[in-house]
């Protein structure tokens, strides 16, 4: 099938392009610029630089790609940055989505459009139990509000125009190539200790519990949504299991080549309202999907990735 991936140069996008190529689909990858992560994917896909906020770029992209399936990953995806740049966050996440859907509608493309929104739309469950799709919506940042708006724009375009939009809310996708999250930060710190560049591992609050899912399982879930997801509906993309960050560090310790001593870094300690956040993936599992990779395998792959690059 002809597949278009917006935001293809990001962490998730690069793995999605790689998966689609493995499945023998025709892939057009789009982003504002070609990234080093896409270079890791290799060849076999068409790349088009462009900005969804630029109507000329978007028109050219859709006219050339003529997609049967669209994965809309283009976003300003950093919650902290959204406090500094709320207007730009809304322009990219909300207007970018509107522009894309309008472009598809204007061309009468009968494409399945997968719109990954965010688990940040949810508030934490009172008792720490897994959050289902009908859980309380309490966005906690301008980024989360923008993803909520994107979420409902997708729903409206299905309801009013009959477009085949399937929404999903990924929880915490982790894996090789990612930077700036706790799984990669811990791995890179351990590699620095193994290389003799630092003596201990600075850590923050290790009692936080998060639903950690391998990105490769996540992109396979996106494809299941193309095949069997119900247009207009929304699905959590999550493992359904919580992992305390102390458990993550313990697994890394078992994989390390040297003793790893932790050091609490007050700069990494911050007030956290959401101590536990786990997604209920029963609805997605009902479509025949389930994670294939264990947390141990994912963390091992992350550590090996950074050993080759640090």
Residue-wise pLDDT for 47-89, tens only, equals: 999 999 999 999 999 999 999 999 999 999 999 999 999 999 9
Distance CA(178)–CA(174), nearest Å, equals 7
pLDDT of residue 266: 75
Q: What is the pLDDT of residue 271?
A: 57
Residue 269: the pLDDT is: 64
Cβ atoms within 10 A of the Cβ of 36, count?
9
Above 80 in pLDDT, residue 154? yes
Residue 153 CB neighbour total at 10 angstroms:
21
- Can you identify the CATH homologous superfamily of domain 2-171+215-237? NAD(P)-binding Rossmann-like Domain (3.40.50.720)
Average pLDDT of the chain is: 96
Q: Which helix (H) or strand (E) holds 188?
A: helix 182-194
| Calpha distance 136→122 (Å, rounded) | 6
Given a cut of 80, whether residue 90 has pLDDT beyond it is yes
The CATH homologous superfamily of the domain defined by 174-210+241-279+292-307: UDP-galactose 4-epimerase, domain 1 (3.90.25.10)
> What are residue 141's phi and psi, to 5 degrees?
-160, 160
Residue 279 DSSP one-character state = B
Q: If you write DSSP's letter for every residue of 116-150 in order, what string do you get?
A: E--GGGBPPPTTSPPB-TTS-B---SHHHHHHHHH
CA angle (4 as vertex; 160, 104 as ends), nearest 5: 30
Domain ranges of the chain: 2-171+215-237, 174-210+241-279+292-307
Q: For residue 32, name the pLDDT band (cuts at 50, 70, 90).
A: very high
pLDDT score recorded for residue 268: 72
Q: Residue 235 pairs with which residues in a beta bridge?
A: 168
Asked whether 107 and 62 are in contact (CB, 8 A), the reply is yes
How confident is the model at residue 234, as a pLDDT? 98
- Shortest CA distance to 65 belongs to which of 33, 103, 39, 27? 27
The answer to whether 240 touches 278, Cβ cutoff 8 Å, is: yes
């Amino acid at each position: 099938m002809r597949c278009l991936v917006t935001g293809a140069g990001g962490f998730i996008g690069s793995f999605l392009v790689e998966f689609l190529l493995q499945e023998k689909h025709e892939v057009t990858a789009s982003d504002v610029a070609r990234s080093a992560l896409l270079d890791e994917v290799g060849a076999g896909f068409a790349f088009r630089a462009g900005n969804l906020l630029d109507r000329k770029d978007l028109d050219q992209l859709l006219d050339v790609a003529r997609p049967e399936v669209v994965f809309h990953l283009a976003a300003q995806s950093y919650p902290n940055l959204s406090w500094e740049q709320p207007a730009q966050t809304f322009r990219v996440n909300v207007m970018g989505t509107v522009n894309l859907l309008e472009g598809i509608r204007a061309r009468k493309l009968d494409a399945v459009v997968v719109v990954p929104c965010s688990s940040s739309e949810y508030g934490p469950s009172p008792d720490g139990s897994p959050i289902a799709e009908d859980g309380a919506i309490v966005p906690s940042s301008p980024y989360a509000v923008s993803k909520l708006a994107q979420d409902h724009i997708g729903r409206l375009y299905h309801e009013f125009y009959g477009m085949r939009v399937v929404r999903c809310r990924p929880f915490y996708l982790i894996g090789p190539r990612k930077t700036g999250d706790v799984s990669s930060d811990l791995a890179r710190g351990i590699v620095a200790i193994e290389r003799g560049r630092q003596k201990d591992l600075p850590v923050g609050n290790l009692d936080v519990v998060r639903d950690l899912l391998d990105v490769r399982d996540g992109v396979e879930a996106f494809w299941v949504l193309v095949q069997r997801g119900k247009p207009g509906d929304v699905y959590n993309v999550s493992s359904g299991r919580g992992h305390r960050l102390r458990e993550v560090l313990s697994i890394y310790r078992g994989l390390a080549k040297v003793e790893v001593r932790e050091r609490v870094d007050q700069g990494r300690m911050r007030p956290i309202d959401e101590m536990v956040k786990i997604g209920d993936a029963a609805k997605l599992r009902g479509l025949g999907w389930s994670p294939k990779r264990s947390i141990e395998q994912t963390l091992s792959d992350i550590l090996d990735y950074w050993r080759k690059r640090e």
